[in-house]
Amino acid sequence: MKFQIVIHLMSVKPGKNKNWVTFEAYVGALDRNRKYTIDFCGTEMHHGLSLTDDEIEELKQRIGKDFGYPPFNIENMKKILGKGKSYTLIRGKSDN
């Protein structure tokens, strides 16, 4: 059985240094009422999400493709993010 995990990035702000940023996100499949924090530097990601290693790698690659890599330009990232950006990850096996 397959199901989707939609990660909706809501905001971005500077992280602990110029190589890190912090996103705030909602992840409906995990807990639609909780706001998650995702710290990202391109090659590393710190988060409280219940995702597999493969899902984390996919998410890092997709965020890096959309937002670039360090050092980050926060103003440019905010423009790219706009009112939010969603990433859909597929978990599970096909029923075939």
Q: With cut-offs at 50, 70 and 90, classify the pLDDT of residue 88.
A: very high
Provide the CA 94 distance to its chain's centre, in angstroms.
24
Q: Domain limits of the chain?
A: 2-92
Residues in the chain: 96
| Mean pLDDT of the residues in the chain | 90
Sign, Cα dihedral of 87, 36, 9, 15:
negative
Q: Which two tokens stand for residue 41?
A: 């530097």
Which pLDDT score is estimated for 56? 94
User: What pLDDT, in 10s, does the model give residues 39-79?
Assistant: 999 999 999 888 999 999 999 999 999 999 999 999 999 99
d(CA 34, CA 70): 28
